[in-house]
Amino acid sequence: MAGLVYFSSGSGNTARFVARLGLAALRIPTSPKEEMPVPDEPFVLICPTYADGDGRGAVPKQVIRFLNDPARRALLRGVIGAGNRNFGVTYALAGRVIAAKCNVPVLYSFELSGTDTDIDRVTAGLEKFRGMECSTTV
């Protein structure tokens, strides 16, 4: 069964979204001094975007550090991007960057801390995704 790992900054938008999902999740710390979580099962990563106007810095440094570990990266099965639509083409850019670099699908994207519809869609999508994980495991 795929778990959840997420990053949320001081704004707490992504943390609020994950809390509303009501699913167990590991949080990537904001401070580089804190220990990284160690997922022991396949997971979906939820990551907000922090890009400048040109898209630089879209993926938070702590998420890069987390994914730079080959054992953690090997368990990544998909990514959900978050952002603010006010930023146009850089909206949820971190999700697209991670997906391309790690060769996993972007499963969904949501704005700020998400809507009730986003919560329903992600919950249903994760259930379906989990079923696919189980059916393809050899």
DSSP structural state of residue 79: E
52 in any annotated domain? yes
CA distance 132 to 70: 23
67 in any annotated domain? yes
Q: How many domains does the chain have?
A: 1
> Mean pLDDT in the chain?
89
Lowest mean pLDDT among 18-22, 47-51, 58-62: 47-51
- Residue 94 has a pLDDT of 95
77 in any annotated domain? yes
Give the pair of three-digit tokens for residue 72: 């953690």
63 in any annotated domain? yes
133 pLDDT exceeds 80? no
130 in any annotated domain? no
More reliable by pLDDT, 76 or 1? 76
CA 100, 91, 129 angle in degrees (round to 5)? 55
Sheet holding 76-83, edge to edge: 26-28, 3-7, 43-48, 76-83, 106-111
Give the pair of three-digit tokens for residue 93: 């850019």
131 in any annotated domain? no
Q: Classify 127 as helix, strand or coil.
A: helix
CA distance 17 to 73: 23
Q: Tell me which residue range forms the domain holding 57.
A: 3-123
20 pLDDT exceeds 80? yes
Query: Domain of 30: which CATH number?
Result: 3.40.50.360
pTM for this prediction: 0.89
Query: Average pLDDT of 112-127?
Result: 92
17 in any annotated domain? yes
Q: What is the dihedral of CA 111, 103, 124, 41, to 10 degrees?
A: -110
Residues 87-104: tens digit of each pLDDT = 888 899 999 999 999 999
68 in any annotated domain? yes
